[in-house]
Amino acid sequence: MARVIKGRVRVASAAAAVSSLAVLLAACGGSSSGGSGASSSSGTGGGSSAKSLSFLAINENTTIPTTLTSLSQKECAAENKAQPLQIKKQAQGTLDQQLQLLAGQKALPQLFISANSPDLTKQLFDSGAILDTGEAATSAGVSDDVLPAASSSIKALYDGKQIVLPTELNIEGIWYNKKLLADKGISVPTTWDELTAAFAKLKAAGVQPISNAGKGGDGWGITRWVGNYILRDQGADALKAVKDGSAKLTDAKYVADAQAIADLGKKGYFGKSPTSIDYATALNTFMTGKAGFIYMGSWALAAFNDPKQNAIGADNIGFMSFPTVSGGSGTADQTPANVGTALAVSKTAYDKDPATQAWVKCIIANYGTVALRDSSQITGFKVASGVTVPPLSQDIQTKISNIKDSVLWFEAYFPTKATTSSQNNGGLLGSGKLSGEQFMKTVSADLG
């Protein structure tokens, strides 16, 4: 009898162990229907040819996914057949975190929007995670399709390497509502004093003078004003001097320049509550005629040329350079230029996958034409002849081609922590709740 019981105990033990393992495995396995079938094929860590071309986009930029989708259907249809385009989206504010996590897991998609912070893109390149697209374009025989202006902008930012694809080529400046200014008897300002006088006039007339976002990370819309004011006041090398260590953001001159923008905030020129406004709302405020001015890059041309979004009409929008500051050593022809939201390519995916190489070659050869044709977007790629360009885009294209002296934006040389700190506090500066000194102290503390 004892032997029988012992046997039963063994059977029961074995059954219990098998059951518990089965439950455990079932729990770990998850639902077979819930996962994305594509995700397993899109990672690049394995090194073998991927079944799809995975592209990590950001919610805030619709032009790049639209252009790539258009390419997949027409110019790059053959490449798309071999490796279908698969687009995933991510909020721009959390893009850097996502890229770091994916890079850490060696699971970066083949194509992705480059990090918000150039410093992070550099780190990814130095670790071998992303491709030198300049070298790749030369090897593929399509290097002539990247405009020299775009290539040099990228190289200025990334220590002489062209490590991203210029899906944008932008100049930045102040856009204004022509009709609104004319109605209020304001001529286009050329100096800071004239500009602030225009703000005062608009405010007195019950019109919001400037529309720029200050909600969370969208505060870059306001910190651009700080950077440009510094460059106009102290000259084109003023921000490079901070990078090189020969100047500090907390130096009296830099603090006074930031205070000039805080003063605009105190007077309510950035609107009722810039800390409540995100990028899309700021752009919409301007395009619905509720604000006189907006500081923005030429990437906004896609929205300005879209009658569905732009209620005031593209003909009603003018562009002016950031004006000169009285007694300042900077000039208005020193134009902030950048390649904006750029594309990066996973080195692992590219090196080991001919299908990805074919896709990247096709993008370089055709992106400029398709983006201009479908979205009126000026890019850093060559454009085939015969593409009709709206007048506003044509005007900006001419301005871009005439640039002799370009400058970078406020956070261009900052590490990620200081970039985040600057952009998160931009809204408070624009609402006048943070003084120039407090702002510069906060950002300076995170410069490391």
Partner 1 sequence: MTSVFGDKRSIALLLGPALLFYSLVMLLPMLWSLGYTFFNGSVITGFDFAGLANFRKLFDDPALMPAIWFTVKYAVCITVGQVLMGYGLSLLYLFFLKHAGGVIRTLVFFPVVLPTVAVSLLFQKFFEYAPQTGPVNSLLDAVGIGGIDWFGSAGKAFVVIAIMDIWRSMGFYAVLLYAGLLDIPDELIESAALDGANGWRLIKNIIIPLSLPVLVSSVVFSINGTLKAFDSIYALTGGGPGTSTTPLTLYMFQTSFSYGDYGYGATVALTLTLICLLVTVVIFRATRRDTVPR
Binding footprint of partner 1 on the chain (CB under 8 A): 5, 8-9, 12-14, 16-17, 20-21, 24, 93, 96-97, 100-101, 103-104, 120, 123-124, 126-127, 129, 215-217, 271-273, 275-277, 281, 285, 415-417, 420-421, 424-425, 427-428, 431, 433-434, 442, 445
What whole-number distance in Å separates Cα of residue 199 and Cα of residue 193?
A: 10
Residues for the chain: how many in total?
448
Sign of CA dihedral 199, 205, 210, 215: positive
7 vs 391 by CB, closer to partner 1: 7
What whole-number distance in Å separates Cα of residue 369 and Cα of residue 378?
A: 9
78 vs 101 by CB, closer to partner 1: 101
By DSSP bridging, strand 85-90 and strand 53-58 are parallel
> Cα dist. 272→105, 276, 281 in Å?
44, 9, 13
380 vs 430 by CB, closer to partner 1: 430
Q: Which of 210, 247, 242, 421 is nearest to 322 (CA)?
A: 210
Q: Which residues pair with 346 in a beta bridge?
A: 130
Inter-residue contact 344 to 167 (CB < 8 Å): no
**Beta carbon of residue 278, minimum distance to partner 1 (angstroms, whole number):** 10
188 vs 280 by CB, closer to partner 1: 280
Structure tokens at 302: 């896609």
**Beta carbon of residue 94, minimum distance to partner 1 (angstroms, whole number):** 8
**Beta carbon of residue 417, minimum distance to partner 1 (angstroms, whole number):** 4
Beta-sheet strands, E only, within 13-123: 53-58, 85-90, 111-113
**Beta carbon of residue 22, minimum distance to partner 1 (angstroms, whole number):** 10
151 vs 442 by CB, closer to partner 1: 442
> Cα dist. 27→20, 39, 222, 369 in Å?
11, 20, 48, 50
**Beta carbon of residue 326, minimum distance to partner 1 (angstroms, whole number):** 31
Q: State which H helix or E strand residue 295 sits in.
A: strand 291-297
**Beta carbon of residue 388, minimum distance to partner 1 (angstroms, whole number):** 35
Q: Let me know the angle formed at the C-alpha of 416 by 411 and 417, rounded to the nearest 5 degrees.
A: 100
130 vs 230 by CB, closer to partner 1: 130
14 vs 197 by CB, closer to partner 1: 14
330 vs 426 by CB, closer to partner 1: 426
What whole-number distance in Å separates Cα of residue 64 and Cα of residue 363?
A: 11
196 vs 416 by CB, closer to partner 1: 416
**Beta carbon of residue 398, minimum distance to partner 1 (angstroms, whole number):** 34
Q: At a CB cut-off of 8 Å and minimum separation 6, what does 188 contact?
A: 176, 181, 318, 320
What whole-number distance in Å separates Cα of residue 292 and Cα of residue 278?
A: 18
Residue identified by tokens 């809204």 is: 427
Amino acid type, 398: T
What whole-number distance in Å separates Cα of residue 336 and Cα of residue 350?
A: 32
**Beta carbon of residue 445, minimum distance to partner 1 (angstroms, whole number):** 6
Structure tokens at 35: 């996962």
191 vs 250 by CB, closer to partner 1: 250
**Beta carbon of residue 199, minimum distance to partner 1 (angstroms, whole number):** 18
**Beta carbon of residue 12, minimum distance to partner 1 (angstroms, whole number):** 5
Residue identified by tokens 């899309």 is: 280
